[in-house]
Amino acid sequence: MKIIRKIILILVIFFLGGCMSQTTEPTPDTGSPNATLAVVRYQVTDVDRAVLFYTERLGFALDMQSGKEFAAVSRGDLRLLLSGPGSSGARPMPDGRAQVAGGWNRVVLYVGDFAALIERLRAAETPFRNEIERGVGGAQIQVEDPDGNPIELHEAPAESASTAGGPNATSAVVRYQVTDVDRAVLFYTERLGFALDMQSGTEFAAVSRGDLRLLLSGPGSSGARPMPDGRAQVAGGWNRVVLYVGDIAALIERLRAAERPFRNEIERGVGGAQIQVEDPDGNPVELHEASAG
């Protein structure tokens, strides 16, 4: 099963990266990319530098790289696409807006050596956005990659670390900021096929789709607190989850009928078709369908 999963992962990376050359031959008899895989896309300006940071500082593995345009790294169930200048996942929007790094949407890494990792990152002069925040869910802090993309380091409290089904070091977790948790849950479950895992009133909810767990942080939750310098964590930006869908045209039609805003029109490349839709708070979700051949 591990070998089959690795083959599927390599296919997904090529499809989602939009970086396959025209002469690349697909691996036979491996099936199409798996809709349950957890994939996130970050914008970077220097792919080599980003790969070095994620592999050397945060324990990711390099799955593949296509020159200066694109790379894919992984950690447990999480696949992180690093889209550099010139890649299909970094093209400007039709209105001219550039896709840039930064924002507040972020991957969440559960680490066992929380304090030691922070110490190592500080020694390497890696910038932190805040100090450690503590709540019932455990301790968390935000660090930035070389392009300013946020990564949340999280340590669960000892009493819940071994809870069955809870997050661990291999979990693929992403945090989005939302202003209305109920509305966000409705969108992700009814429109995009997520399952509701848990909800805590109007402050927080967690939904999942395959290997991906999406945290919806509303006002008042520990994951939505302002930074020490007063900056508010807001929705939007360009960091996004990538959802592989079997029938992209039909899904787009349903979303347009529900008056969901799209950021762009379909982008096509040798890696397949992709388009960005916004959730009710303006967070981007990339819908992706691989090309037939």
Tell me: the pLDDT tens digits for 154-173? Answer: 986 565 444 556 777 788 99
Domain pair 2-99+242-289 / 106-224, same fold: yes
Of 76 and 37, which is predicted with more confidence? 76
- Which of 27-31, 105-109, 130-134, 185-189 is least confident? 27-31
The predicted-structure confidence for 222-271, as pLDDT tens digits, reads as follows 999 999 999 999 999 999 999 998 889 999 999 999 999 999 999 986 67
The predicted-structure confidence for 123-136, as pLDDT tens digits, reads as follows 999 999 999 998 77
Topology at the third CATH level for domain 106-224: 2,3-Dihydroxybiphenyl 1,2-Dioxygenase; domain 1 (3.10.180)
What is the predicted pLDDT for the residue at 17? 53
3 state SS of 197? strand
Contacts of 105 (CB under 8 A, 6+ apart): 150, 174, 175, 176, 177, 235, 237, 239, 240, 283, 284
The predicted-structure confidence for 39-72, as pLDDT tens digits, reads as follows 999 999 999 999 999 999 999 999 999 999 999 9
Per domain, the residue ranges of the chain are 2-99+242-289, 106-224
What is the predicted pLDDT for the residue at 165? 60
Q: Which CATH class is domain 2-99+242-289?
A: alpha beta
Phi/psi at 117 (5° precision): -65, -45
- Which of 14-18, 111-115, 137-141, 184-188 is least confident? 14-18
pTM: predicted TM-score of the whole model, two decimal places? 0.86
Q: Report the phi/psi class of residue 255: left, alpha or beta, with left for phi > 0 and alpha for psi in -120 to 50.
A: alpha
